[in-house]
Structure 1
């Protein structure tokens, strides 16, 4: 969903944005199913063994599932704002849109890499993800500056840009949180 929403944003693809928005409920339902499985696996070592999960890792997996669901929510929010702007016939200025796409693509890459790091327990990769979050912070500040000092004076447009910017930042935060869990999981095994 994260990659799709930034593809939709870049190409102004409303059909893809609406598809991302509609997927959010499915992600919520799937999250509840996975959480139920993880809770049962934490209490039932036989089930945990069948799922190839250490019962002690169930909490880490549960946190991962929550972060994935949050990233889905943030992607759906971006989609909602895209559709809203289309409905009011407003467009994000090109220079701001370009920054949003760059930041969003970086956030989506960090997110995908952090999930990979979670399963591989790759500490150096996780630390690199945490360092790359700083680039998102710089982009976030630049987007904020351009959103408030640019040509756009319409409050609805500025609010939509700020909301999209905030949701990109939150996806990046999810990536950082997942990377931190990956580091903790790797060190938990050495203790």
Structure 2
């Protein structure tokens, strides 16, 4: 059947408008006279037609077999791939002595995903269900929390650098898991839209174009959290930081933090003017990074210089990702054709 079919709207019964369904499509999906179809209005006022038998009547279930030679990272990737695919229930089955991997599954549920709970357990099987629904936790709310956690991580990084707080630096990486959980949760919902399991309006988006923008935004925020984490780890390795270096590093960090904060504000308010302002400041950030690196190469030891340059690069990368988000904000502010 052609991707697009033209049909004439006809009047019947004096007031009812009807349109015929394409014969080839009817045959492909197995519709017969008397069957029901579900009609969904889309955000762009188009209509989506589904045979009623295609509409989900229960949770989507999938099996996952864990073999004893599977590594923890393999198990994690296999589990998360099923979560992202939109399955509501994952039946994890353990072959032979692989039941010892149950703790790995529980660790993944705790650190990497939102809303997954064990609802049934046997010696060689775990039945896990996603109890977090898109209607209970909309994408924008999850995205705001993801952005705020990352901003607080950056705030604490700068405070730790200023005060020399080693314990605060050590605490930052653990919060990266929370950002990853929101990232994977939002990505799950966006993938379900792309698969046709949800409509854009179900997750609070206006159309597929906005869903694509959201996909790029959450990836940028996830990468920003990674760079904050990497910076904290590198700062733990620095043995002696001169006053001039600390001053320049904090100046760079505060400007990057302000840039990221404005980026989030512009995105959530859909403010293209503020987004343009953010994008225009990236060159200033690069100049600050260059001045910092020059000072580091003169005053710091070879070992400390290596880690401090990595921190400077990470802060600049945070600014780069902030600019990417700002550009997405500007793009979404332009009405589609």
TM-score by length of 2: 0.52
- 1:80 — aligned with what? 233
1:171 to 314, 318, 321: 318
What is the SS of the residue equivalent to 1:84?
coil
More helix by share: 1
In structure 1, what is the Cα distance between the partners aligned to 2:216 and 2:291?
31
Write out aligned runs for 1:149-164 (5 A): 149-150=298-299, 152=300, 154-164=301-311
Are the counterparts in 1 of residues 217 and 325 from structure 2 also a CA contact under 8 Å? Answer: yes
Q: Deviations over 1:95-116 (max 9, x none)?
A: 1111111111111111121122
- 2:192 — aligned with what? 40
Change (3 A) 1:45 1:127: farther
Q: Deviations over 1:5-38 (max 9, x none)?
A: 1122122122221221111123223211110112
- 2:327 — aligned with what? 180
What is the SS of the residue equivalent to 1:158?
helix
Extract unaligned runs of 5+ from structure 1: none
Q: How many Å apart are 1:75 and its aligned residue?
A: 0.2
Are the counterparts in 2 of residues 81 and 160 from structure 1 also a CA contact under 8 Å? Answer: yes
TM-score by length of 1: 0.89
Are the counterparts in 1 of residues 235 and 308 from structure 2 also a CA contact under 8 Å? Answer: no
- 1:71 — aligned with what? 224
Q: How many Å apart are 1:54 and its aligned residue?
A: 2.0
Extract unaligned runs of 5+ from structure 2: 1-152
Are the counterparts in 2 of residues 117 and 126 from structure 1 also a CA contact under 8 Å? Answer: yes
In structure 2, what is the Cα distance between the partners aligned to 1:6 and 1:20?
11
- 2:176 — aligned with what? 24
In structure 1, what is the Cα distance between the partners aligned to 2:250 and 2:199?
42
Runs (4+) of structure 1 moved beyond 6 Å? none
Equivalences, count = 184
- 1:102 — aligned with what? 251
Are the counterparts in 1 of residues 263 and 323 from structure 2 also a CA contact under 8 Å? Answer: yes
Change (3 A) 1:44 1:120: farther
Q: Deviations over 1:107-127 (max 9, x none)?
A: 111112112212222111111
Change (3 A) 1:44 1:4: farther
Larger Rg: 2
Give the root-mean-square deviation of aligned CA atoms: 1.6
Q: Deviations over 1:76-109 (max 9, x none)?
A: 0111012222xxxx12111111111111111111
Greater relative contact order: 1 or 2 (C-alpha under 8 angstroms, separation 6 or more)?
1
Q: Deviations over 1:32-77 (max 9, x none)?
A: 1110112213444855323221232111101110000000000001
Are the counterparts in 2 of residues 45 and 55 from structure 1 also a CA contact under 8 Å? Answer: no
